[in-house]
Structure 1
Amino acid sequence: MGKTAPPSIVVVGSGLAGFGVLRELRRLSPDAKLTMVTLENGHFYSKPALSTALAKGNTSETLVTSSAEKMIAQLKLDARIGREAESIDRAGKALCTTGGPIPYDRLILAMGAAAYRPAIEGDAAHRAISVNQLDHYAYFREQLPDQARVLIMGSGLVGTEFANDLITNHYQVVVVDILTLPLAQLVPPAVGESVRDALASEGVEWHLDRKVVAINYVGDRAGYVATLDDGSNIEADLVLSAVGLRPNVALAQEAGIDIGIGIKVNQYGQTSDPDVYAIGDCAEYQHGISAYVTPIMAAARGIAQSALGTPTEIRFPPLAVQVKTTLLPVNLLPPARNCVGEWHSVESDVDGDKHLFIDDRGFVRGYVLTRQKTEQRVEMDTKVGELA
């Protein structure tokens, strides 16, 4: 009998998820034919570093940790850079791109998520900048005047980290959010209040429980004027939109693959088409979206083995998050979205605060640690992980 040909696996995307699964595939199979399709330039960088790059003196160039050329050589890739994935021919098992069809044995979608654009009136609404990839950050830096007054829409993880980064680097910062506290969907109110107050003490101006309804351009002197839903106006030199991301599902949806919030996958990372997988920000796992580094790397390990013919369940560790706010360091583990329980404050002193999410059976399912208490993260991860 003849030797079985090495598998042909196509990965769409060159972010952490795309390169993460490509690394695992190459480690497990030196002979597999690996093709990467991406609209970006193919350089490898850390997306979480975008919201703290100013403080660390990074530019879009210095954020690159490995060039596309290095990644291609290292992983022995057939790289289709600057190519768009247009459709999936599931019957013919081919990815149709702007450079022509690419046959596959397995297809892995690592297409990330796109910035949500809220409906806002005004002649400059389209000029609000979202920073979700390297070229976005390059444009943001080009448009950012020295000591500028920056309006940030959104006080979630990204918005709050950008506010911290900008205010500690001598920019003026105004934050607007429809919620009443920063990080409101991740932490208990007391922690949101502490984050708000810590950044306010350095000059961040908060407009919470408010919404931007219009952005207009008023000339070089003042730049932009944003109108809020209470009729007040905010002048700014630049507007940064950090109101959330939406998984990129169109390619899968048009191919008839099941989607929810993201592309639905099973415990192996497979979509409703067993030869198509999804990973990262575009994937909806059985517990929901996991758009952070740790779950992406865990998924890459499982999916690579499954795609190469050894079905392997993805084992997610506790999905802890480090909020990179140097003015008030925070580590947290949010409870699962279907977990019933409530937050309890268990420690509060000069070293910081500790909050635990206790479920209806009395088990710890989440935590928030601030200041020096963030050092308890590993201990808390172990405690929560024992219940997984």
Structure 2
Amino acid sequence: MHPIVIIGSGMAGYTVAREFRKLNAEQELVMICADDAANYAKPTLSNALAGNKAPAQIALGDAAKMASQLNMRIETHTWVKAIDAEAHVLELEKEGVSSQQPYSKLVLAVGANPVRLAIAGDGSDDIHVVNNLSDYTAFRQQLEQRQDKRVVILGAGLIGCEFANDLQQTGHQVTVIDLAPQPLGRLLPDYVASAFKQNLEETGIHFVLGTTVEKVSKIKNDDYLVTITSGQSLIADVVLSAIGLQPNIALAKTAGIETSRGVLTNAQLETSQADIYAVGDCAEVNGILLPYVMPIMQQARALAKTLNGETTQVHYPAMPVAVKTPAAPLTVLPAPLGVDVNWHTEEFDDGMIARAYDQTDTLRGFVLLGATAAKQRLSLTKLVPDLLPVSE
């Protein structure tokens, strides 16, 4: 019997391995990853400064520790060059040496890649993206070398706002630039986004919205001149891009696996190729793409059972997302794509609740801004129908 092979050592890959080991201690497991396979929670990167955590303190275990803990062989710094889905074999490359790895079942936990804007200027190559721990380590190193602590963030989405809050709380001067008219424009109705923005501005975060960055140039003292299409410019010590993520579908495509925005799977997380599954940020499950922690946990539990011979559908209950912006406490449960909703708002001294109702007056999503509203999280979540119910 060939091993079950997991490609990717992020939260999705490790959670599948951990859940599978709860059910099966013996079946051979192999993890293949292009990096050092350190086990850490990626969401902790965007609030590590305020938590006083150095990059070296973020990893929970290295590859050797995880291999021992999970009784699993971990191949680090190894690239999967191709998947032969028919023969159930992977073509690998490590340090220039090619090899093959057969599998009985294959799990794609390959995550997502940062979206990069085409930006002119001789400083554009120095723009940081933080998609993993080594990216974050490089970002922190540059931050610590600079005196003035002026940080420009490209992107006012979830990650951009979390980093802005974390940096501002730790003595940095933060400017956030986005083409959208409001932060978190895709998740929040306008009036909630406006209140959220105001809360962050009160901490000193500066937003430049409705425009984008044209050019990043190196100037004296290792500073950067950030030129905006609206004509103004800013001086920065560090520039961070947090435009968003795109599911990593390249490897799946070469294997003839059907893809759309992500790697397409059914409710059992099966792809269009036999014995190949997808989980985490790369997986588009029944048309739903949810790059958050709770969906990964739900996927991993279901897939572990399936890999152990008990075919199981993933179940998505309503799963609110807590945004790590303590200056403006925010919890969001987005309404499903394609559902028309009307917003009803209740205001408090420290924030508001916005409820999204569909045409049948069913609660389909909500936004909680502020500490008072946050107390309603559990009671409201219970009222929202499952996003992906378990069929009989």
TM-score, normalising length: structure 1: 0.95
Shift of 1:308: 2.6
Q: Which residue number in structure 1 is paired with residue 174 of structure 2?
A: 173
Shift of 1:66: 2.5
| AA at the equivalent of 1:239 | V
Deviations 1:230-283 (A, max 9, x none): 111111111000000111111110111100011001010010012100000011
Over the matched positions of the two proteins, sequence identity in percent amounts to 36
1:225 maps to which residue? 225
The alignment partner of 1:220 has SS state of: helix
Residue 384 of structure 2 is matched in structure 1 by: 384
CA–CA distance in structure 1, aligned partners of residues 375 and 55 of structure 2 = 31
Deviation string for 1:160-218 (max 9, x for gaps)? 01110111111000110000111111111122111211121121111000111111111
Q: Distance in 2 between matches of 1:79 and 1:110?
A: 14
Corresponding position of 1:206: 207
Contact 2:316 2:386 in 1 (8 A): no
Alpha-carbon distance, 1:343 to partner: 2.0
Amino acid of the structure 1 residue aligned with 2:178: D
Q: State the Cα distance separating 1:332 from its structure 2 match.
A: 1.1
Q: Which 10-residue stretch deviates more, 60-69 or 22-31? A: 60-69
The 8 Å contact of residues 263 and 271 in structure 2, kept in 1 or not, is answered as: yes
Query: What residue in structure 1 maps to residue 323 of structure 2?
Result: 323
Q: In structure 2, which of residues 67, 74, 91 is the aligned counterpart of residue 72 of structure 1?
A: 67
Report which stretch shifted further, 234-243 or 59-68: 59-68
Distance in 1 (alpha carbons) for counterparts of 2:148 and 2:10: 31
The residue type paired with residue 83 of structure 1 is T
Structure-to-structure mapping, 1:166-315, within 5 angstroms: 166-220=167-221, 223-315=223-315
In structure 1, C-alpha distance between the alignment counterparts of 2:147 and 2:196, rounded to whole Å? 25
Distance between the aligned counterparts of 1:386 and 1:37, measured in 2?
Answer: 34
Counterpart CA distance in 1 for 2:87 and 2:137 is: 39
SS of residue paired to 2:218:
strand
Gaps of 5+ in 1: none
Q: Distance in 1 between matches of 2:350 and 2:192?
A: 14
For the Cα contact (< 8 Å) 1:287–1:337, is it kept in 2?
Answer: no
SS in 1 for 2:128: coil
Equivalent residue number for residue 361 of structure 1: 360
- Once the 2 structures are TM-superposed, how far is the Cα of residue 381 of structure 1 from its aligned partner? 1.4
Instruction: Report the alpha carbon displacement of residue 37 of structure 1 after superposing the two structures with TM.
Output: 0.3
Ranges in structure 2 where 5+ consecutive residues have no aligned partner: none
Question: In the superposition, relative to structure 1, how do residues 270 and 23 fare at CA in structure 2: closer, same or farther (>3 Å)?
Answer: same
Structural RMSD (CA) = 1.3
**Deviations 1:344-384, CA, capped at 9 Å, x for gaps:** 21x10124200001111111000011112112211111111
Alpha-carbon contact 1:36-1:77 (below 8 Å) kept: yes
Hey, what's the Cα distance between the residues in 2 that align with 1:161 and 1:386? 27
Aligned to 2:45: 50
Letter in 2 for 1:172: Q
Q: What are the equivalent positions in structure 2 for 1:326-365 lying under 5 Å apart?
A: 326-345=326-345, 347-365=346-364
For residue 44 of structure 1, give the secondary structure of its aligned residue in structure 2: coil
SS at match of 2:219: strand
Task: Work out the CA distance in 2 between the residues paired with 1:219 and 1:302.
Answer: 55
Q: In 2, Cα distance between the equivalents of 1:292 and 1:194?
A: 24
Q: Which residue of 2 aligns with 1:116?
A: 115
Relative to structure 1, is the Cα distance of residues 218 and 59 closer, same or farther in structure 2, using a 3 angstrom cutoff?
Answer: same
Q: Letter of the aligned partner of 1:383 in structure 2?
A: L
State the match for 1:136 in structure 2.
135
Give yes or no for the alignment of 1:375 onto 2:370: no
Would the aligned equivalents of 2:196 and 2:369 in 1 still touch at CA under 8 Å? no
Match of 2:35 in 1: 40
Counterpart of 1:127 in structure 2 is 126
| Greater alpha carbon shift after TM alignment, 154-163 vs 86-95 | 86-95
Residue 6 (structure 2) pairs with residue 11 (structure 1): yes
- What is the one-letter code of the residue matched to 1:143? Q
